[in-house]
Chains A and B, each alone.
Chain A
Amino acid sequence: MNTLIKVENLSKQYRLGVVGTGTMRDDFTKWWSGVRGKENPLLKLGETNDRTIIGNSDYVWSLKDINFDVQQGDVLGIIGRNGAGKSTLLKILSRITAPTTGSVKIKGRVASLLEVGTGFHPELTGRENIYLNGAILGMKKNEITKKLDEIIQFSSVERYVDTPVKRYSSGMYVRLAFAVAAHLDPEILIIDEVLAVGDTEFQNKCLGKIKDISGEGRTVLFVSHNMGSVQNLCNRGILLNNGEVLFDGSSTDAVTAYVSSAINFNTSNYIEIQKEHKNSGVLSEIEVKSLELLEGFQYNQYATNDPMTLELALFGNQSIDDFRVAFGIYTLQEEGVASHFSDPKFSIKKGEIKKIRLKINHHQLAKGQYYFNFAIGKGNEETGVREFDLVMKTLFFEISYTDVDHSKGIVMWDKQGWGSINLQNVEAIEM
């Protein structure tokens, strides 16, 4: 066994809020304690990074006392919910930011792909960008020249290789960028979610390439929300939760631990309604039988611009005309975010099963995890309501991307400060 990465007591503290005069006071405190040879008092502050709890401190530990080793040939999947500390860990391992305490020891050449096409310059041609991107990722010029034909062929954009990349479609751009990255020859490869881009054919090509790389005895660290590919590619998994290692073991066990750790967050997109979802105060003239989220990305993830479609299957215990379907969207802290009451235009016969599709075209929800409540009944917020059936806390989903092809994860959204709705349809006009 040859240990290539050794992570020891790694912690990272972040300051929340904006940089202002208060920051200067803290900097002074830090400096003054250093001058007197004392421990920085600010390091005693801070709390675990649980974004669901309102904190009291300006400081938060994004990672706290992380310890693990990576052996040569390991393909390690790092999983966890948004804000669990995955990105921070990758940033430290890629030497983009330094830890607050602790250390990481690394053997061998590291290449990290936290984004495809890092440093691409829109005005330069594809060929020029291959050199630029390759050099940024740590390749030597003659190495790139040697692999140039292979890279161009892998990207399958031969025809456009002498065109500025600003004229590329986003698919071509990603292909070219991944082609460069795939031809790096590092001993350790760090990858963040890059597989969630491009069409299926290209994704398979990428997965295949990563398999090849790991087959050659290289070490791969892989962060993903895609449990399928973690299970497929990795032999080992680490589950992070609120900045701490919750589980370290085989990738299959890690995925299982992830799914069950999300106690509130049920990732299935089809739910048959059981007793526990029901509100006992209703007479069930109409019953909700099942709920389904259609077109959701894996584990019910959506982009900020994705339309969302759900389907309700209703069963009529009595014949009822002119009823409506209403739903509310809530955060995991059970705060209401939005509601909708449909027109009273549905009717159902006794013994009939009726399917109703709800299409939310422009949801405007900010990054985060949410769930639905449903109410089948009559009346609305003006007239007063009478419900036939109420279904609570079902269909969990997550907004985690900014774009439709799920390549750009949302970096941060401070819900406390910015709320749950990210208004899209706003015009700012200079008068």
Chain B
Amino acid sequence: MTHLTKDNWSHIIQPKNKWFEINFREIWEYKDLIFIFVKRDIVSTNKQTVLGPLWFFLAPLFTVFIYTFVFNGIAGISTDGIPAPLFYLAGTTLWNYFQSCFMATTTTFSSNASLFGKVYFPRLVSPISTVISNLLKFFIQFGMFLCLWSYYFYKGEVHLNITVLFFPILILLLAGISLGLGIIISSMTTKYRDLSYFISFGITLLMYVTPVIYPLSSIPVKFKFFIEYNPIAPIIEAFRYGFMGKGAFSLFDLGYSFIVMVVLLLVGIVLFNRTEKTFMDTV
């Protein structure tokens, strides 16, 4: 215990953190906890289900089936020449990842209240592990997408683009935006719950201004700016462009998404940091 020498305080507990006082080293020290949380999430979701991980496939499969039937079959919305099931599967795979990360991180404080009330660890560990554990679910769905994609690729109905190499960056962007947005909302809803009512239908509204069930190209020019301000739109479009050759790929738009992500993360971390110290008194 040689480090316990004079005035070498390891923590100072004070009323408030400074604005940008975030201890990344501490979060790194708790990396084992992040992975154990990820493991917990994955293992516990499928306990006591007969079909187990199969549910990760079934849910998007039904969604795609319904979308193909309703939006393509009945409403006749264009899929940009891409086979409809593949088009919808691409959109929903990415959107599901965003939505599940976002929805889970917005309740960070309220759903972990009993844990946070008993023990200290850097609170950001929770939302970070949520984003990672959802990543694994995402890859299962993405594997399903690849299977369907190979089928159409083999038939020659879709073709690859070199921009497919951007795929990991697209996922990081999605993860970052959902994490940033999620922790902002979670910090704002600890004391006043009003916002959480808005979130549940807000996320549905957000999906409709994101090119999930329609291609960006099918949007009339006068509505386009709505969607161009949506930082998720370029990500989904770039994904489709990379894998299926249809869609839009623009470094400028992705740069915009990146800037939005950075801003959201910074604001989120500042708010989260301020909230985590006293939320136990108000939750």
Residues on A lying within 8 angstroms of B by beta carbon are 2, 4, 14-15, 19, 23-24, 27, 72, 91-110, 112, 114-115, 118-119, 121, 123-124, 128, 131-132, 135-141, 164, 187, 217
A123 and B9 contact, Cβ closer than 8 Å, known pairs A99-B15, A128-B43, A187-B1: no
> B193-205, CB under 8 A of A: which get 1 and which 0?
0000000000000
A108 touching B119, Cβ below 8 Å: no
B121 touches A105 (CB 8 A): no
Q: How far is the CA of A19 from the CA of B281 in the complex (A)?
A: 11
Q: A139–B30 Cα gap in the complex (Å)?
A: 9
**A24 CA to B12 CA, complexed, in Å:** 30
Given A23-B191, A121-B44, A138-B121, CB of A98 within 8 Å of CB of B15: yes
Give every chain A residue within 8 A of B24 (Cβ-Cβ): none
CB distance B115 to A119 under 8 Å? Answer: yes
In the complex, chain A residues whose CB is within 8 Å of the CB of B192? 19, 24
Known A-B contacts A112-B120, A138-B121; A124 and B43 likewise in contact (beta carbons under 8 Å):
yes
Q: Can you give 27 A-B contacts (C-beta < 8 A)? A: A2-B4, A2-B5, A4-B4, A72-B1, A72-B4, A93-B13, A94-B120, A96-B116, A97-B278, A98-B13, A98-B278, A99-B14, A103-B12, A109-B10, A110-B120, A118-B115, A118-B118, A118-B119, A123-B43, A123-B48, A128-B40, A128-B43, A131-B36, A135-B30, A135-B33, A136-B33, A187-B4
Contact A103 B118 (CB under 8 A): no
Contact for A94 among B3, B119, B277, CB less than 8 A: B119
Q: Verify A98–B16 contact, CB threshold 8 A.
A: yes
1/0 contact string of B5-47 vs chain A (CB within 8 Å):
1101111111110000000000000101101110110011001
User: Would you give the shortest CB distance from A241 to chain B, in whole angstroms?
Assistant: 22
Are the C-beta atoms of B33 and A104 separated by less than 8 Å? no
A41 CB, nearest partner CB in chain B, Å = 16
Closest to B34 in A: A135
- Closest Cβ neighbor of B193 among chain A residues: A19
Whether A114 contacts B36 in the complex (CB less than 8 A), given A72-B4, A97-B280, comes out as no
A95 adjacent to B32 (CB under 8 Å): no
Chain A residues with CB under 8 Å of B40's CB are: 121, 124, 128, 132
Encoded as 1 (CB less than 8 Å from any A CB) or 0, chain B from 73 to 86 comes to: 00000000000000
**Contact of B281 with A97 in the complex, beta carbons under 8 Å:** yes
Q: Is the Cβ of B13 less than 8 Å from the Cβ of A99?
A: yes
5 tightest CB-CB pairs across the interface, nearest first?
A: A98-B277, A95-B120, A104-B13, A135-B33, A141-B32
B143 in contact (CB, < 8 A)? no
Q: A112-B120, A131-B36 are in contact. Are A105 and B12 (CB under 8 A)?
A: yes
Q: Closest CB of chain A to B132's CB: distance in Å? A: 15
* In the complex, residue of chain B having the shortest beta-carbon distance to the beta carbon of A119: B115
* Docked complex Cα distance between A97 and B47 (Å): 34
Given A23-B191, A95-B11, A103-B15, 9 more A-B residue pairs with CB atoms under 8 Å apart are A94-B119, A98-B13, A98-B14, A103-B13, A106-B13, A112-B119, A136-B121, A138-B121, A141-B35
Residues on B with C-beta less than 8 A from A19 are 191-192, 282
Q: Looking at the complex, which one of B43, B47, B120 makes contact with A96 (CB distance below 8 Å)?
A: B120
Q: Which of B38-91 contact A (CB under 8 A)?
A: 39-40, 43-44, 47-48
Contacts of A131 in B (CB 8 A): 36
Q: Is the Cβ of A108 less than 8 Å from the Cβ of B10?
A: yes
Per the bound structure, the CA–CA distance linking A141 and B33 in Å amounts to 8
Contacts of A114 in B (CB 8 A): 118-119
Residues of B253-283 contacting chain A, CB below 8 A:
277-278, 280-282
CA distance A121 to B37 in the complex (A): 10
| Docked complex Cα distance between A136 and B39 (Å) | 13
Q: Residue on B with the closest CB to A142? A: B32
**Quick one: which of A2, A98, A132 has the most chain B CB within 10 A?**
A98
Say whether B115 contacts A135, CB under 8 Å. Answer: no
Contact of A123 among B36, B44, B277 (CB under 8 A): B44
Residue of B nearest to A92 (CB): B13
Interface centre among B15, B47, B115 (most CB of A within 10 A): B15
Distance of A145 from chain B, by nearest CB (Å): 10
Contact A140–B44 (Cβ < 8 Å): no
Residues of A within 8 A of B119 (CB): 94, 96, 112, 114, 118-119, 136-137
Residues of B within 8 A of A121 (CB): 40, 44
Shortest CB-to-CB span from B29 to chain A, Å, is 8
Contacts of B44 in A (CB 8 A): 121, 123-124
Residues of B within 8 A of A98 (CB): 13-16, 277-278
Given A96-B119, A99-B13, A135-B36, CB of A123 within 8 Å of CB of B47? yes
Instruction: Select from chain B the residue with minimum beta-carbon distance to A103.
Output: B14
The residues of A that contact B277 with a CB separation of less than 8 Å are 97-98
Q: A72-B4, A123-B43 are in contact. Are A105 and B9 (CB under 8 A)?
A: yes
